């Protein structure tokens, strides 16, 4: 908790965290204006707009938490502050867990900021509840999975630039299928296996198509499995936290 508290202060009491939230709020404000100001600008259905806002909040939280966790260890190593951190009377796994908790803290803040926009765009209380609850579940699973992935890469990266590049590349590769028209058996396979695609499809069905949660719970398997497996790997890798970022040392 001491490590997490220090990391949280570094994020939220410096320029990084507030600047990200301000830019994110401006983006949501612009989208809400375009969707709700008048009929000429309201170019998509209300449920589609709520889904878009929810997915934007989730995707931005994933990428920000991923980049924060990717910087957590390799950044300390590059700034030459990792040695003093490793000499503190704190187990290595607790150091890594504290940094992971701080990186994940971006998600609840972004979700709270998105609530007024979802409320303003809602077509009824049922839509608001579906969007918030489904976004909370899917977003939490994906943020934990990707933040843990960033931590793993950061632990074994000698360069902070390498850590950020690798994690962002993986995110783009997994995000790409959500922007493509998927059909046939291959499309179904990607939807079931890719955590980003499965999570995005779950939100689409619950928010836009008004499906009951029980109809599409299978789409949560990939995000839940990714969160559990990648977090477990990060927990094991944290025990190998060393001053030099190398798989062989």
Domain ranges within the chain, ordered by starting residue: 2-238
| pTM to 2 decimal places | 0.85
More confident residue, 73 or 122: 73
The sign of the torsion formed by the CA atoms of 90, 92, 66, 53 equals: negative
Residue 144, judged by CB atoms within 10 A of its CB (0-12, 13-18, 19+), counts as: buried
**What is the C-alpha to C-alpha distance for residues 156 and 194, in angstroms, rounded to an integer?**
24
Q: What is the pLDDT of residues 188-245, one digit of tens each?
A: 777 778 888 888 889 988 888 888 878 888 889 999 999 999 999 998 888 877 756 5
Q: What pLDDT shows up at residue 36?
A: 67
pLDDT digits (tens, 9 = 90+) for 26-42: 998 888 777 766 555 45
Nearest to 104 by CA among 62, 152, 154: 62
d(CA 143, CA 139) in angstroms, rounded, equals 6
User: Residues 119-170: pLDDT tens digits?
Assistant: 888 766 678 888 899 999 999 999 999 999 999 988 888 777 888 888 888 8
> Tokens 């995110």 identify what position?
171
What is the C-alpha to C-alpha distance for residues 236 and 180, in angstroms, rounded to an integer?
35
Backbone phi, psi, residue 133, to 5°: -70, -45
How far apart (Å, rounded) are the C-alpha atoms in residues 54 and 136?
9
89: pLDDT strictly greater than 80: no
The pLDDT of residue 90: 75
Confirm if 232 and 215 have CB atoms less than 8 A apart: no
Q: What is the pLDDT of residues 93-115, one digit of tens each?
A: 888 888 899 899 999 999 999 99
């Amino acid at each position: 908790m001491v490590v997490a508290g220090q990391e949280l202060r570094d994020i939220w009491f410096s320029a990084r965290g507030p600047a990200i939230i301000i830019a994110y709020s401006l983006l949501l404000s612009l989208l809400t204006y375009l969707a709700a100001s008048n009929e000429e600008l309201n170019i998509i259905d209300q449920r589609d707009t709520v889904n878009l806002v929810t997915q934007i909040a989730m995707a931005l939280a994933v990428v920000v938490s991923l980049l924060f966790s990717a910087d957590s260890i390799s950044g300390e190593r590059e700034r030459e502050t990792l040695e003093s951190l490793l000499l503190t009377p704190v187990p290595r796994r607790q150091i890594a867990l504290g940094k992971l908790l701080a990186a994940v803290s971006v998600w609840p803040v972004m979700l709270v900021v998105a609530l007024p926009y979802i409320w303003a765009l809602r077509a009824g209380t049922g839509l608001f509840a579906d969007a918030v609850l489904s976004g909370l579940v899917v977003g939490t699973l994906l943020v934990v999975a990707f933040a843990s992935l960033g931590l793993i890469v950061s632990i074994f990266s000698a360069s902070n630039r390498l850590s950020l590049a690798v994690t962002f590349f993986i995110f783009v590769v997994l995000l790409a299928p959500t922007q493509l028209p998927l059909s046939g058996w291959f499309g179904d396979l990607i939807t079931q296996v890719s955590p980003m695609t499965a999570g995005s499809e779950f939100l689409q069905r619950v928010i836009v198509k008004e499906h009951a949660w029980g109809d599409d719970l299978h789409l949560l398997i990939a995000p839940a499995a990714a969160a559990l497996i990648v977090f477990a790997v990060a927990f094991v890798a944290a025990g190998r936290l060393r001053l030099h970022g190398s798989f062989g040392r």
